Structure 1
């Protein structure tokens, strides 16, 4: 019967692989959604996702899957420690990779308004109009800077001036949306750290078992 330590290790190893699946799925689905026709519902998330390291997320997930596969020999070879060491170092690498992704998203939130201003200026009138409809605002800073897009939400200069610019609502949405992404990535790093500790404990346990086995062999108890 497996020890509690091994069950704990296997459990977090599976969770580790599941986190890789989540990163892969989120990255691929996000890239697919970004290629769809913009609508009021998806225009803001897609613009923000375009600033996220989605391709790097796919690469990170691939490393996670490779690391998980390398852990299988460690499970089926109870006396081997080489595979465990390799897995431990790869988990550390994956944790550092994921932490880098999370930090890159977090750093982007520190200067949200300037980044969003650049994004707004690069977008087509259609996307700007959809953003105005989503946040019920006109223009970015205000209705004249840059000039608002005339649509159903901003039907005239008077209406546009009364509604105000999109900077506040768009920034609040961006911060909330990106906070969830980098918080999730930091949570994955936490899982990685726990798995590294599990690997270290299993290595220590196997080292002790090997030492006891050598002692038994010296005492002529190798067959017990």
Structure 2
């Protein structure tokens, strides 16, 4: 009969694998979105996703799935501790990997305005125009620095000057969007840490069971 500890351990192990699936799905979906034709609806998200470590997310998810597969022998071998130790170290590696990805995105939020200014200047007039239409603004800092793109939103210099630059609206949207991404990454790290603690608890439990078994064998109760 499985103990409560083992049931919790199995559930958290499955959640760990689910986090890998979430990470893989987000990374692959984002890479697919980056290849889509830019529109008003996706232009800002695609600019931000282009700055995220999506390839690292795919690699990280592969390590998570590999770790989950290596944990299966530990589940089906109730007295084994070697596979559990291996799993514990691999989960720690995955946690550090995911933490690195989350920190990379978090650092982006600390320098949003400067980074987006550089991104804006190297983007095509089409992308700049789509951003202007999405946020109802003209230019990045203002209508002249860098120069606005003339479109349905920024009809002329006078209208552009009245609407102001896109810096505030784009930065605010970017911070909210990136906050969701790195918060999700840190949440996955939290799952990893809980799983590491459970691995340690299961190791301790199995070690105690092994010690009790040796005591029973010495007392001649090994057959009971």
- What SS does the corresponding residue of 1:120 show, helix, strand or coil? helix
Structure 1: distance between partners of 2:158 and 2:118 = 26
Match of 1:38 in 2: 38
* Paired residues for 1:100-115 under 5 Å: 100-115=100-115
Give the Å deviation of 1:157.
Answer: 0.7
Match of 2:16 in 1: 16
CA displacement 1:7-42 (0-9 Å, x = unmatched): 000000000000000000000000000000000000
Gaps of 5+ in 1: none
Indicate yes or no: 2:160 matched with 1:190.
no
CA displacement 1:150-182 (0-9 Å, x = unmatched): 000001111101100000000000000000000
* Paired residues for 1:30-69 under 5 Å: 30-69=30-69
Give the Å deviation of 1:75.
Answer: 0.3
Match of 2:116 in 1: 116
Structure 1: distance between partners of 2:7 and 2:209 = 17
* Paired residues for 1:145-224 under 5 Å: 145-224=145-224
Gaps of 5+ in 2: none
CA displacement 1:119-145 (0-9 Å, x = unmatched): 101100000000000000000000011
Structure 2: distance between partners of 1:111 and 1:98 = 21
Structure 1: distance between partners of 2:175 and 2:194 = 28
Structure 1: distance between partners of 2:197 and 2:173 = 37
Give the Å deviation of 1:83.
Answer: 0.3
Structure 1: distance between partners of 2:171 and 2:65 = 35
Give the Å deviation of 1:200.
Answer: 0.3
Give the Å deviation of 1:108.
Answer: 1.1
- What SS does the corresponding residue of 1:220 show, helix, strand or coil? coil
Give the Å deviation of 1:67.
Answer: 0.4
- What SS does the corresponding residue of 2:221 show, helix, strand or coil? coil
Indicate yes or no: 2:135 matched with 1:130.
no
Give the Å deviation of 1:68.
Answer: 0.3
Give the Å deviation of 1:45.
Answer: 0.3
